[in-house]
Amino acid sequence: MKIAFVGKGGSGKTTLSSLFIRHLAANEAHVIAVDADINQHLGAALGLGDAEAAALPAMGAHLPLIKDYLRGTNPRIASAETMIKTTPPGEGSRLLRVREDNPIFDACARTVRLDDGDVRLMATGPFTESDLGVACYHSKVGAVELCLNHLVDGPDEYVVVDMTAGSDSFASGMFTRFDMTFLVAEPTRKGVSVYRQYKEYARDFGVALKVVGNKVQSQDDLEYLRAEVGDDLLIGVGHSDWVRSMEKGRPSRFELLEADNRMALQTLQDAAEDSYGLRDWERYTRQMVHFHLKNAESWGNEKTGADLAAQVDPAFVLDERHARAGVAAPA
Ligand SMILES: Nc1ncnc2c1ncn2[C@@H]1O[C@H](COP(=O)(O)OP(=O)(O)OP(=O)(O)O)[C@@H](O)[C@H]1O
Ligand SMILES: [Mg+2]
Q: What is the pLDDT of residue 331?
A: 45
Which ligand is in closest contact with the Cα of 10?
1
Distance 298 CA to ligand 2 centre (A): 30
Atom 9 of ligand 1, residue of closest alpha carbon: 12
**HEC string for the chain:** CEEEEEECCCCCHHHHHHHHHHHHHHCCCEEEEEEECCCCCHHHHCCCCHHHHHCCCEHHHHHHHHHHHHHCCCCCCCCHHHCCCCCCCCCCCECEECCCCCHHHHHHEEEEEECCEEEEEEECCCCCHHHHCCCCCCCHHHHHHHHHHCEECCCCEEEEEEECCCHHHHHHCHHHCCCEEEEEECCCHHHHHHHHHHHHHHHCCCCCEEEEEECCCCHHHHHHHHHHHHHHEEEEECCCHHHHHHHCCCCCCHHHCCHHHHHHHHHHHHHHHHHHHCCCHHHHHHHHHHHHHHHHHHHHHHHHCCCHHHHCCCCCCCCHHHHCCCECCCC
CA–centroid distance, residue 283 to ligand 2 (Å): 30
pLDDT value at position 132?
55
Q: Is the domain defined by 2-324 classed in CATH 2.60.40.1930?
A: no
Predicted local confidence at residue 137, as pLDDT: 46
For the stretch 181-204, pLDDT in tens is 999 999 999 989 999 999 999 999
**Weakly modelled stretches of the chain, pLDDT under 70:** 128-138, 166-168, 322-331
- At residue 28, the pLDDT reads 95
Q: Is the pTM of this model over 0.75?
A: yes
Distance 230 CA to ligand 2 centre (A): 25
70-87 confidence digits (pLDDT tens): 999 999 999 999 999 999
